[in-house]
């Protein structure tokens, strides 16, 4: 699957006082008031940080391998490009649907750049989060030929480095080829299939509209991205991914599943 998951919320356990509970609305209201005074500031701080500052996400699929592995946990800054009124999902039970309230930008800080790794609301289902790399900016003319990107008619250089065994979320290994791609001066690793390219390996030249971004996975033949469903709007971008703060290999049992070498790995470190 292609989506990116948000970790489950922590539950707050309230210890029993050992005092026999008394009946009466005053006592109940008093306990509620005390709970709000005790936990309110902490809950508010957590919600504020997750809404406007920082949010962790878990990688459930292999579309960004080798940059991001299945089981990586990434740190995403929510304020990288601006301050937004957060997304709201309004459930409509009798229609069996949810209405996505559009986000509103309060303060613009910067524009997304080519090479940025972003978390965004999947354009075809905005209740789902995706993570990809920006390869095309507004106004660019972009083409893909045998998984190589052409920006405004210029091929983005890539250099073959080695064979690579890509392991997906189902723990199945696939032979691929690893390259270092130079995307407008940003070098990073990508993968392509060892045999024939996938159905998205070639795309005719298109022009990216204003206020739209074209994104692709680094695992070129195992990523469904803008080559299929086209563009990401600025209001769909939730933030910029910066580093891996935790990594767990679900295909290894016991403590062997912890990938210590990936802890606090910078996602924009120069490719070797």
Which domains, from first to last, does the chain contain? 56-266 (2.10.109.10)
Q: What is the mean pLDDT of residues 29-51?
A: 60
Q: What is the pLDDT of residues 203-222, one digit of tens each?
A: 999 999 999 999 999 999 99
Q: Residue 257: which pLDDT band, with cuts at 50, 70 and 90?
A: confident
Which of 33-42, 175-184, 219-228 comes out lowest in average pLDDT?
33-42
* Six-digit token string for 195: 């045999």
Q: Is 247 a catalytic residue?
A: no
Indicate if 38 belongs to the active site.
no
Decide if 103 contacts 76 (C-beta within 8 A): no
Name the catalytic one among 61, 63, 80, 226: 63
Contacts of 240 (CB under 8 A, 6+ apart): 76, 77, 80, 81, 112, 116, 117, 118, 119
Tokens (6 digits) for 210: 């204003």
Compute φ and ψ for 98, nearest 5 degrees.
-125, 140
| Band of pLDDT at residue 113, cut at 50, 70 and 90 | very high
Q: Which of 61, 78, 80, 132 is catalytic?
A: 132
pTM of the model: 0.77
Element (H, E) at 32: helix 25-48
Q: Which residues, 6+ apart, have CB-to-CB distance to 210 below 8 Å?
A: 138, 139
pLDDT at 114: 97
Contacts of 151 (CB under 8 A, 6+ apart): 114, 135, 136, 140, 141, 142, 184
pLDDT tens per residue, range 124-137: 998 899 999 999 99
Cβ atoms of 147 and 155 within 8 Å: the answer is no
Share of the chain above pLDDT 90, in %: 59
For residue 1, what pLDDT is reported?
Answer: 45
């Amino acid at each position: 699957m292609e989506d990116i998951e948000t970790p489950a919320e922590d539950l707050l356990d309230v210890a029993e006082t050992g005092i026999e509970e008394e009946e009466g609305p005053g006592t109940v209201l008093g306990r509620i008031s005390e709970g709000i005074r005790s936990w309110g500031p902490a809950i508010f701080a957590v919600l504020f940080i997750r809404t406007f500052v920082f949010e962790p996400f878990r990688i459930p699929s292999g579309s960004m391998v080798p940059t991001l592995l299945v089981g990586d946990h990434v740190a995403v800054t929510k304020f990288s490009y601006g301050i937004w009124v957060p997304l709201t999902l309004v459930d409509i039970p009798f229609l069996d649907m949810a209405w996505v309230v559009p986000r509103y930008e309060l303060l613009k800080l910067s524009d997304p750049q080519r090479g940025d790794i972003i978390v965004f609301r999947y354009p075809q289902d905005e209740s789902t989060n995706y993570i990809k790399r920006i390869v095309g900016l507004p106004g660019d003319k972009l083409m893909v030929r045998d998984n190589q990107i052409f920006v405004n008619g210029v091929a983005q250089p890539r250099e073959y480095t080695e064979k690579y065994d890509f392991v997906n979320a189902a723990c199945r290994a696939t032979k691929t080829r690893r390259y270092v791609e130079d995307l407008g001066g940003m070098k990073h690793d990508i993968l392509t299939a060892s045999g024939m390219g996938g159905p998205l390996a070639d795309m005719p030249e298109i022009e990216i509209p204003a206020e739209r971004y074209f994104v692709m996975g680094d695992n070129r033949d195992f990523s469904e991205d803008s080559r299929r469903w086209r563009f990401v709007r600025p209001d769909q971008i939730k933030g910029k991914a910066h580093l891996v703060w935790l990594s767990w290999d679900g295909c290894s049992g016991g403590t062997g599943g912890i990938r210590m070498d990936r802890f606090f790995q910078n996602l924009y470190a120069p490719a070797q």
